Structure 1
């Protein structure tokens, strides 16, 4: 998968930042408008402030080679449908002066052009990690509304998104790269995570992809992609939305906190919220640990293939070692 130019991360971000600032007139912003970096993972995301009007917005500059323009358009279509038809608060797209939702940015400092989208700025804060039971219940309810909408939504012509299943995660051409190539993967790690991968494959095949279990979902609905504003829970960053098991969304909600001792309580809180919209069978609920570990192993791969990001650097080999400990517990029950 093509990703970025062969530049040190700091230099690459500096060049993308200059390109972002130069692009702001495309959206009718004043010469005084500036883009401030707020996140770098798959994409580079900026808060845009225009002192001439007092406006604030969010600019997302896409990673090279991750999504086609058609895939980005599909993402935006679902976000709009969720706002309009399911009561899910998502950012709105701000069209450029030429009326288009997606711009292609170019810079003489960069080899590859990049797609970019401007969104409205939503008020709210990421949930605090020491007060998650309430947010997880609301997240469960929001997730259920999203899944119910997806199950009944007719995909627009040309709709295309990533598929997040066992083959795309751990097959010969994995979307996020091979977990085997990540930080700290030695012979003992290969053995235990290899057993985990094989067990996940068997259980997911048995679980199946029936329509009530598998469909369009957010696929990255973790704490960093939620905004809590009073009693309102807003959902942002649909960049990974795609076709997967609906329970995968619960696995993603626990991203990077799978080791916490209160995870069973968080799961129950999520299920209470989900049950306000639709009930899950005991058979489905019993497989929740599988989707938590499916996501965990995917994140080991992501960290290895995104080693230039600050998040990957901060996690590194300890995250792989922690994954082995969680795998041992999981395999003791399901292996």
Structure 2
């Protein structure tokens, strides 16, 4: 989907939309990232900058996008987290513009620009994960107490929508380079995950979460830890947010330290029971298998092309250790 010609088309198509978000003539657009969506940075000669997210068709409905933006706006208004503010259109009002591509129409949303850099393992993640634990706890407290506006709708991230009968990111069995022995191993792992999640239950443990607090969606500058990209926010287990935070670094030896720091930061803000803590490795394995499915169903993305077979092999390695611990 996201070949160079198509990205050039999206980039050119955004230019006529720029004035509606307050960008002056002569503004330029450049690609930032490709994941579920394509994200661009628009800059004009006056120094105004906007981050533009072009939504992938067939994923989020319009009401789901508006629901995400409603939660972001509420979080900003309530001082819960530092995150870029959605920018309303100055011409017609509203928060969504449309970009035509053949018979398809893609929704486009704009955000204020937030400076900063992605934290990296080389720079030392443990202090940031303690901060992230506190931020996550504040997000969860807000989600538990916030009155959702009428028509609020976001996807549900439970076992069935991740690894089960209605997978939103594709079937993990289509994983890149998956071998028969690995598939059998992951089948046993999925069955064990289902059992553990059924035993854990939902109820008060399940609610609105960011669901993608990975390093790429964090921006640090000085002592500020900003959070971006609520595109995957939805209803899931609250503890799933930790697993999302270690996406793609699940096998790094620092992960136990990151988990301890995250728990400590969380408990400074909100309760976290021993049972919740014990479930964190379960969610790490769940997330790892979900990402393995995502890479297969998004094989055109740079992330999938970079990781490919090696990530699938690592998933099998983690699954073997997981089953060994589970007994």
Q: Secondary structure at the match of 1:287?
A: helix
Which residue of 1 is the match for residue 220 of structure 2? 228
Q: 1:100: Cα distance to partner?
A: 1.2
Which residue of 1 is the match for residue 139 of structure 2? 146
Gaps of 5+ in 1: none
Query: Is residue 2:206 matched to residue 1:214?
Result: yes
Query: Is residue 2:317 matched to residue 1:317?
Result: no
Which residue of 1 is the match for residue 3 of structure 2? 9
**Does the 8 Å contact 2:23/2:48 carry over to 1?**
no
Separation of aligned partners in 1, 2:15 and 2:168? 30
Q: Secondary structure at the match of 2:323?
A: helix
**Does the 8 Å contact 2:134/2:265 carry over to 1?**
yes
Q: 1:87: Cα distance to partner?
A: 2.5
Q: Secondary structure at the match of 1:227?
A: strand
Which residue of 2 is the match for residue 25 of structure 1? 19
Match of 2:241 among 231, 246, 249: 249
Query: Is residue 2:32 matched to residue 1:38?
Result: yes
Separation of aligned partners in 1, 2:159 and 2:34? 26
Separation of aligned partners in 2, 1:38 and 1:308? 16
After TM superposition, the structure 1 = structure 2 runs for residues 250-265 of structure 1, keeping only pairs within 5 Å, are 250-265=242-257
Separation of aligned partners in 1, 2:322 and 2:3? 36
Deviations 1:264-313 (A, max 9, x none): 10000101110110121111111110000000000000000000000110
Which residue of 2 is the match for residue 78 of structure 1? 71
Which residue of 1 is the match for residue 81 of structure 2? 88
Separation of aligned partners in 2, 1:195 and 1:124? 42
CA RMSD across the alignment:
1.2
Which residue of 2 is the match for residue 103 of structure 1? 97
TM-score, normalisation: structure 2: 0.97
Which residue of 2 is the match for residue 62 of structure 1? 55
Q: Secondary structure at the match of 1:83?
A: helix
Deviations 1:98-142 (A, max 9, x none): 1111111114xx331100011000122111222100111111000
**Does the 8 Å contact 2:41/2:50 carry over to 1?**
yes
**Does the 8 Å contact 1:86/1:149 carry over to 2?**
no
Match of 1:308 among 300, 310, 323: 300
Q: 1:86: Cα distance to partner?
A: 4.2
Deviations 1:141-189 (A, max 9, x none): 0000000100111111000001110011122221000011120112111
Separation of aligned partners in 1, 2:298 and 2:32? 17
**Does the 8 Å contact 1:216/1:244 carry over to 2?**
yes
> Number of residue pairs matched?
325
Separation of aligned partners in 2, 1:66 and 1:122? 26
Query: Is residue 2:152 matched to residue 1:159?
Result: yes
TM-score, normalisation: structure 1: 0.95
**Does the 8 Å contact 1:150/1:216 carry over to 2?**
yes
